[in-house]
Amino acid sequence: MDNSFTENYHPFKSDSNLFSNDISFLIELRAKPQIIEIIKEKHLEEISENISIQDKKNNLIIWNAMYTREIVGNGILTKYLHPVYNKFYTLIQSLNTLKELQELEIKMIDTYINLLINDVEVKDNFVINRILKHLHLNIESQISLKKLASEVNLSEGYISDCFKKHMGITIMKYAKKIRIDRGKVLLVTTNSSILEIALTLGFHDQSHFHKVFKSFTGVSPSEYRNKNFG
């Protein structure tokens, strides 16, 4: 990987990663630890260079837009990115210390990469890929084993056994898991009510969402939002 960014860093105007394909490549690989390492090295240079707060804000505004573009390019629907982008854009404007802005930068890449990780899971098995694609594309719809089997033109028994063998989890539990993962994102990046999020994700009501959410996370949706929002 090209480390010219960390070796030749100067405040904002020559932020070389803005003109490099390294970050794009790492985003495509979902390589969050490597990206965070690059960012942390940059942060040390920013402190050493005494970068101005305004330059840092400008830098994050550009990266926020670039992350959004990269995530869209990797297949995430823009309707899921709008609230994330808007939240970070607003937060960038509201913070006034370098430490806060640097912490926000880490949170930005963590959030954007998690969207990719939760949305796309590549497996060697072609059948698993078909099932995963259907589940992710229909995350806001009611999923039934019968309907899924019909969509992929295979028997319910076959897809159930195949999925459990390769994924270590049943299809229906996995479908709930990705909904809860999406729910976690919506809880901390939107002002939608818990009921609205529950219905958006295909749960019968708020109580059903609450029960399933807590079974996966150990906390209620409201507790998760209060702990992580903003």
Instruction: Say whether both 109 and 138 belong to one domain.
Output: no
Residue 18 DSSP symbol: G
Q: Residue 131 sits in which domain range?
A: 126-228
One domain, residues 193 and 175: yes
Is there a single domain that holds both residue 138 and residue 190? Answer: yes
Same domain, 110 and 148: no
Give the CATH number for residue 222.
Answer: 1.10.10.60
The structural domain count of the chain equals: 2
pLDDT at 122: 45
**40-70 burial string, b = 16+ CB within 10 Å, else e?**
eebbebbeeeebeeebbbebbeebbebbbeb
Rounded (5°) CA angle 155-142-219 = 115
Structure tokens at 93: 């404007």
Co-location of 72 and 45 in the same domain? yes
**Residue 14 in tokens:** 């020559």
Of the CA atoms within 13 Å of residue 134, those in its CB half-sphere come to 21
Q: Read off the pLDDT of residues 74-119 as tens digits, 9 standing for 90 and up.
A: 766 677 788 889 999 999 999 999 999 999 999 999 998 888 776 5
Token pair listed for 44: 């040390």
Tell me the whole-structure pTM to 2 decimals: 0.47
**Averaged confidence pLDDT in the chain:** 83
E strand intervals along 108-159 = none
Residue type, 134: H
Among 74, 92, 119, where does a domain finish?
A: 119
> Are residues 96 and 153 located together in one domain of the fold?
no
8-state DSSP, 138: T
pLDDT in tens, 123-165: 446 788 888 888 888 888 778 899 888 888 888 998 898 888 8
- Looking at 119, 136, 160, which one is the last position of a domain? 119
Q: List helix spans (H) across 76-155.
A: 78-94, 98-119, 126-137, 145-152
66 and 134 part of one domain:
no
